[in-house]
A and B are shown apart, each in its own frame.
Chain A
Amino acid sequence: MPGRIQSIERAVAVLRLLDTADQPLELHEIADTLGLARTTTHGIVSTLRELGLVGQMHDHGPFHGRYEVAEAARLFGRGGPDPHELRSLAMNWADSLAAQTGLAVTLGVPTRADVLVVHHVFRPDGSPQRLAIGQRRPLHASALGKALLAFASGGARRLQGSDLTAYTQRTIRTHQALAEALAIVRQDGLATEDGELEPDRGSIAAPVHGTGGLAVAALAIFGRRDELFDGHGGPDHGLADATKATARALTRQVQTLW
């Protein structure tokens, strides 16, 4: 197979991002989500606009200047990988991450409103556990959700206008705080959730990227807060590195297909 053309991969990722975002996005939001330089992003978006696949808002309303996918390009459809194929690819990686960390592992994919858990490996200690496959996780209060918001779903703006449900004292409640948290997620390539969904539990997640940089899934370990985080609230370095490394390995495999 001849090598794939990176700029086309990136253009498709931009289209998919704009298609999944509920609202038009600003240039910097597109660039940040896909991890691209602003100038590169501008070039791609301008070209797509001239080709009629992306529209720019000129209504002088609140979205003035932002970009959205044009009707002509919606034929690309949802375009994400089949969640069960993702699980099939992830089985060995997830098993290995759980064995390595001694913690439970989940794989989540983005939906319009939340995260769908498509794979779950028990923590290997024989304790009673129930499969969470098919369950939903909130975008703003789970590590899976934050990883996907940061790298796939259009950032904090995605949830603007909707209430951020407070599950615990520690749940992020304001859109400003969420935007700041997602900036850190993008910078670290890692999302954390520290007692924000259940009081004593937490989670660490890393994105699984398709070609072009758009995240197609996120991989998370979860356990007790004291297992995952150090005294200063930062994620345990070993666990964070293991999660990122496994997500990278899965990314390499996923990118041979998507």
Chain B
Amino acid sequence: MVAAIDQGTTSTRCLLFNHAGRMIAVSQREHHQHYPRPGWVEHDAAEIWRNVERVVPAALREAGLTPDNLAALGIANQRETTVIWNRHTGKPLARAITWQDTRTEPMIEDLAADGHADLIREVCGMGPTTYFAGPRLRWLLDHVPGAREGAEAGDVLFGTMESWVIWWLTGGPDQGSHVTDVTNASRTMLMDIRDMRWDERLLGLMDIPAAMLPEIRPNATVYGSCRTVVPGVPIGGALGDQHAALFGQTCFSPGEAKCTYGTGAFMLMNTGARLATSPHGLIPTVGYVVGDAPPVYALEGSIAVTGSLVQWFRDSLELIETAPQIETLATSVADNGGCYNVPAFSGLYAPRWHPDARGVVVGLTSYVTKGHLARAVLEATGWQTREVADAMNADAGPGLALTRLKVDGGMTANHLLMQFVADAIDVPVERPFVMEAVSLGAAYAAGLAVGYWADLAVLRSNWHRAALWEPAMDPALRDAEHANWNRAVERTYDWIRPT
């Protein structure tokens, strides 16, 4: 049995997987979201650690197992959430700044205005954006009393959530291992994405003391042994959540891609040994690194609003009572009735980059009913997936194109939607048995590191198709609908006037 800790945005979970990759038990605890100001979103890292201490034993209890039954433990985590803490006491100096937090926007604008964008793009694979953890760390150093002095003296440590959890699991103040993995480190804006080391130029630019940084390690490697919670169990893997899903979906060959559909959606495509550049604004990133093997790169495209559009339809328009009912409403009509919904709620991101855009519902006539609106809501996720897929096909590199898409996440329960995604992107869409791709990926990395699974081929043989949606839309209709979608998107532009 291998345990995975999924340290996510709203909760921390522990899942146990057997050798066949089947989920045996799960335990979960939510943590508080703190919103001290508009645009700020914080987590209490100490609360998250307490939850780790509880969910792992709870999952073992549910399965009737003891730590002796665990071959390894792996960690997948919300990416770019940033914490600093005192290495002698284990106390965070402030609440963790989460990935949703936008307070570093002015810093990012200054970096670009000061002409640093090219250097950052050269080293990190992408220009400065608020995604990255590094600017959050800089904000903490600038604003938290004692942080900078402590960091320079070697008393204050920085980490993203996997570093924080591993440090505590391996002893905390008593010689805990201060490490991170390449995928999380690649999202700091401080690591050279080619040689996988902290980049001194960027540390200088961001004025970050090197003494506070964790050591960068591969994703599947033994980080150390737990000294608490499950004493003696080796920690064999750590990955950022979306990279973990790529690994859990066994996208091990160049061109293989997965898309995780939650409130937003994240598509990652394996680009092999080649670090792609993306004129279309996708994010070139480290896919994963297994032991001493060379890094496998990936392209990432995200869609801000997918499941959250269904939530808006439910909670703000109150046209349905539960999210699954949108399929019932959508199947009450045969098509979208000419209606399109572009959910540019906070502008349009990759590949369009129109922060000035806002959402529209177009094509309204007296014929349109709430059933057509429901269709338009679901189709928006399909067309947005198409846009990211098109950008991937353009930027992934010679010979790499999307030929199938592996999907996971809650929205894969929607049959109508998954069929529409297949129709929109014109390649088969398939769902594996284990929908918990993020946790499974963390377990796989950990089990691989300790030899519980022999190699990637064994993991691949664990992947079983639970459902397959084949493209079935008439090509002429697909093209016409795609053209309509594009015309709808054009109508979102330039809505917000420059102040």
Contacts and interface: CB of A to CB of B under 8 A. Distances in A.
Interface string A103-121: 0000000000000000111
B433 A98 contact: yes
A95 B433 contact: yes
Interface in A15-61: none
Interface stretch (B59-67, B275-283, B322-330): B322-330
Nearest to B26: A92
Interface string B453-468: 0000000000011111
A85 B323 CA distance: 8
A249 interface: no
Contact of A131 (B322, B324, B468): B468
Nearest to A100: B22
B415 A91 contact: no
A88 B324 contact: yes
A86 to B, nearest CB: 8
B467 A131 contact: yes
Contact of B466 (A83, A85, A88, A124): A124
A88 B468 CA distance: 17
A88 B413 contact: yes
A126 B464 contact: yes
Nearest to B465: A122
A122 B466 contact: yes
B349 interface: no
B435 interface: yes
B395 to A, nearest CB: 31
Interface string A76-102: 000000111101100110011011000
A95 B414 CA distance: 15
Contacts of A92: 435
Contacts of B20: 99
A126 B469 contact: no
Contacts of A121: 433, 466-467
Contact of B328 (A84, A129, A130): A84
A122 B466 CA distance: 5
A84 to B, nearest CB: 4
Contact of A124 (B325, B413, B433): B433
A84 B469 CA distance: 17
B306 to A, nearest CB: 16
B466 A133 contact: no
- Which interface residue of A84, A119, A126 has the most chain B CB atoms within 10 A? A84
Interface residues of B, number: 22
Interface string B321-360: 0111111100000000000000000000000000000000
A242 to B, nearest CB: 14
Contacts of B433: 95, 98-99, 121, 124
A135 to B, nearest CB: 12
Contacts of B470: 130
B413 A91 contact: yes
Interface in B427-474: 433-435, 464-470
B443 to A, nearest CB: 16
Contacts of A122: 464-468
Contacts of B325: 82, 84-85
Contact of B435 (A91, A120, A129): A91
Contacts of A126: 464-465
A92 B431 CA distance: 13
Interface in B218-253: none
Given A82-B322, A124-B433, A133 B22 contact: no
B415 A133 contact: yes
Nearest to A87: B413
Given A95-B433, A95-B435, A99-B22, A85 B322 contact: yes
B464 A124 contact: yes
Contacts of B434: 95
Interface of A: 82-85, 87-88, 91-92, 95-96, 98-99, 119-122, 124-126, 129-131, 133-134
15 contacts: A82-B325, A84-B325, A84-B326, A91-B435, A96-B22, A99-B20, A119-B415, A120-B467, A121-B433, A122-B468, A124-B464, A125-B464, A126-B465, A131-B469, A134-B415
Given A85-B324, A99-B464, A129-B468, 18 more contacts: A83-B328, A84-B324, A84-B325, A84-B413, A84-B415, A87-B324, A87-B415, A88-B323, A95-B435, A95-B466, A98-B433, A119-B415, A121-B466, A124-B433, A124-B464, A124-B466, A126-B464, A131-B468
